[in-house]
Structure 1
Amino acid sequence: MTQEPETTDQNSGRQQADQASWLSLLDWRRRVSKLYEEVRSSADPQAAHAAWRTGRDALFGGHAQSPLTPEARATFTGLLYWPYDPGLVFSVPVDTGVAPERFVVQTSAGHDMPLSRFGRVTLPFGTLDVYWIDVYGGGVFLPLRDATSGHESYGGGRYLLDTVKSADLGSRQSGELTLDFNFAYHPSCFYDHRWSCPLAPPANVLKVRIEAGERAIP
């Protein structure tokens, strides 16, 4: 049985739906941006984290651009996190003396994503490379995997910074990044395979357990 071609009215309806979805996505990004703006302006990181969690739950449970499937959204009661750990908050200089490297990583859906490594940060438990997403506009990107990945958190890793999506914790001074691992979060592909997300490169795998931020199981 062959499929009948769409009528003009059907095409028009689809185009209108697509146009509405772009406005919906704009609203989602504005709301995420506002959440991070409030985090950066707060003098109390733990209170800011609580507000960030509340804001994310509202978006995931009620926004049209939620990465959750409709079935998951119907029973959604909130994202899971480890308790806030003030010992996992750092303000660290970015070492831009590392050799620059441009390469392509695979996303969860098998698409190519160009990244440029432009720096590295050193933490008490290891180092992480800092990337620039090398597409129009660009942005700082800091994904990671740790010893919880594939068990208590997503095997493909979590994101700490993704300034393309407004996930930006700021800087205390020029040349530094604020890294609060309590704000590590799962990419959209963790919730639904229809999303395509760049995975954490091998250089950004920590051998320790980072029991902070979003988790997959209680």
Structure 2
Amino acid sequence: MFSTYDGPAAYALADWRRRINDLYAEVRATRDPVDGWRHWRDERSRLYAAHPMSPVPDKDRPAFDGIEMYSYDPGFRFEVHLEALSGEPVRFDLAGDGVMVARPVSLTRGLDNALGGELTVYWIEGYGGGLFIPFKDATTGGQTYGGGRYIVDAIKGSDLGLGKSGRLILDFNFAYTPSCAWTPDFVCPLSPPENTLPASVTAGEKTP
């Protein structure tokens, strides 16, 4: 989340969210997951290179040549069942943006055999709400950002939807780094310790 909201910044943030929403809609409409991922990767890199709300600092943009990512690996694409879950809400301190409260609503079923664990699915409290799935794994703090990555975030429109099976698509090749990893101008909710996978998720974005 961006910590100041004057007129130009607010309009730019609205445009950024619109573009990300549109991008995920295009990915969901693409039949081949690899083609969808390539489009996602290339369009995100274009936005990061030029958009006013890019988290890449202005001083670093001349040398920026795209977001560094792992190659696409189909072994990190899953369709998971969701098991109802209740628990204490998690409060994410976002400094000047206040506190974001997210309530556990589900536990994934379908990741354990490959990744050594399952993930809690959170519902963001407040107007509009939406799903939120941050995670850490064995690459966190090394090849990937120490605060974890996101795979679903309704606020940004990042959601691959449901597969033909009716189960939730979790494709870790689309895992991305929160904006605060790039610049302190952004404040982001970081993944709770309980959403840590024992395996190395060598898919998605690497440390900026």
Same fold (TM over 0.5): yes
Partner of 1:44: 32
In the TM superposition, residue 107 of structure 1 has moved relative to its aligned partner by 4.4
Asked if structure 2 preserves the Cα contact closer than 8 Å seen for 1:115 and 1:134, the reply is yes
1:77 to 46, 65, 69: 65
In the TM superposition, residue 47 of structure 1 has moved relative to its aligned partner by 0.7
Distance of aligned partners of 1:107 and 1:23 in 2 relative to their CA distance in 1, 3 Å threshold: closer
SS in 1 for 2:118: strand
In the TM superposition, residue 207 of structure 1 has moved relative to its aligned partner by 1.1
Does residue 214 (structure 1) correspond to residue 182 (structure 2)? The answer is no
Partner of 1:12: none
SS in 2 for 1:171: coil
Q: Which has the larger radius of gyration?
A: 1
**Within 1, Cα distance between the matches of 2:181 and 2:37?**
21
Query: What TM-score, normalized by structure 1, do the two folds share?
Result: 0.86
Partner of 1:143: 134
Unaligned runs of 5+ in 1: 1-16
**Within 1, Cα distance between the matches of 2:147 and 2:198?**
15
Unaligned runs of 5+ in 2: none
Partner of 2:82: 94
Partner of 1:67: 55
Alignment: residue pair count: 200
Partner of 1:6: none
In the TM superposition, residue 101 of structure 1 has moved relative to its aligned partner by 2.9
In the TM superposition, residue 216 of structure 1 has moved relative to its aligned partner by 1.6
Query: What TM-score, normalized by structure 2, do the two folds share?
Result: 0.90
Q: Deviations over 1:153-203 (max 9, x none)?
A: 000000000011110110126863100000000000000012110011111
> Superposed, which structure 2 residues align to 1:172-187 within 5 Å?
172=163, 176-187=167-178
SS in 2 for 1:101: coil
Partner of 2:151: 160
In the TM superposition, residue 135 of structure 1 has moved relative to its aligned partner by 2.4
Instruction: Out of 184-193 and 67-76, give the one that drifted further.
Output: 67-76
Partner of 1:115: 102
SS in 2 for 1:79: coil
- Aligned amino acid, residue 157 of structure 1: G
SS in 1 for 2:90: strand
SS in 1 for 2:56: coil
In the TM superposition, residue 28 of structure 1 has moved relative to its aligned partner by 1.1
SS in 2 for 1:104: strand
